């Protein structure tokens, strides 16, 4: 594809190449091509005839801070939710977040597209259905220049409703308050939480003990070889 120039252009790739290969003085070349001597000197120093990229050398948002971007990246990688769902879930934590700034942030970090399954399409099978109000809760670490934060995430397995909070510490009390805030924020009843995190499990157990109901139960869902890491669910009133 040829070079596209505007009507008054004096510097073409051919002119730049001729300047770089010429042994004439800057004054002679400037007069020959009708340009400034500084322009001649600039192209003499370069090894390429292409224009250098403009803008900042490191792409950076003018809206989002480094901490905001760290939260967005951690949330996206942890939940794998679509763009609009990420926006809805994160706006409470990052009020100035817009759809365009979120999209550009995901593009900068190479996660604007959700991963696809490679190879042949898997055989379709019927998965277990969950009633709305069945939440999976987890805690993820977010590392920034200022230190480490803890991101608590809750996602409804059916509606994909997502709720997120950031905290400097991860304690049972923080997890319990997170569950209270989740229950207050969800526009329908939260009846079950599933988690493989001990703090979240203890928080759910604390809430269930304070507000007992008939269908409270405790069931092991998955066990690692050492038996130390279990995924559990807890029914809430």
Lowest mean pLDDT among 43-47, 82-86, 171-175, 213-217: 213-217
157 and 127 Cβ atoms separated by less than 8 Å: no
Q: Are strands 134-144 and 192-195 parallel, antiparallel or unpaired?
A: parallel
Of 2, 36, 1, 3, which Cα lies nearest the Cα of 19?
36
d(Cα 102, Cα 82) in Å, to the nearest integer? 11
Q: How far is CA 35 from CA 28, 38, 40, 137, 164, in A?
A: 10, 8, 7, 65, 59
pTM score above 0.85? no
Per-residue pLDDT tens digits for 150-179: 888 888 888 888 888 888 888 888 888 888
163 and 153 Cβ atoms separated by less than 8 Å: yes
Q: What angle do CA 60, 61, 67 make, to 5 degrees?
A: 95
Arithmetic mean of pLDDT, 63-77 = 87
Per-residue pLDDT tens digits for 12-61: 888 889 999 999 999 999 999 888 999 999 999 998 888 887 766 777 77
């Amino acid at each position: 594809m040829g070079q596209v120039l505007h009507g008054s252009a004096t510097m073409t790739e051919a002119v730049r190449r001729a300047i770089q290969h010429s042994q004439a003085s800057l004054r002679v070349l400037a007069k020959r091509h009708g340009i400034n001597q500084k322009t001649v000197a600039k192209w003499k120093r370069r090894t390429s005839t292409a224009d250098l990229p403009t803008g900042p050398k490191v792409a950076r948002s003018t809206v989002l801070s480094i901490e905001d971007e760290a939260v967005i990246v951690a949330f996206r990688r942890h939940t794998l939710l679509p763009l609009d769902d990420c926006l809805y879930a994160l706006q409470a934590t990052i009020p100035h977040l817009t759809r365009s700034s979120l999209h550009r942030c995901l593009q900068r970090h190479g996660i604007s597209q959700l991963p696809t399954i490679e190879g042949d399409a898997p055989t379709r099978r019927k998965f277990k259905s969950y009633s709305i109000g069945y939440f999976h809760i987890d805690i993820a670490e977010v590392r920034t220049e200022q230190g480490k934060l803890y991101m608590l995430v809750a996602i409804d397995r059916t509606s994909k409703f997502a709720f997120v909070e950031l905290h400097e510490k991860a304690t049972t009390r923080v997890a319990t308050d997170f569950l209270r805030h989740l229950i207050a924020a969800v526009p329908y009843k939260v009846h079950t939480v599933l988690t493989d995190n001990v703090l979240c499990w203890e928080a759910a157990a604390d809430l269930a003990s304070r507000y007992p109901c008939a269908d409270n139960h405790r069931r092991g869902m998955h066990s690692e070889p050492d038996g130390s890491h279990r995924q559990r669910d807890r029914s809430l009133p």
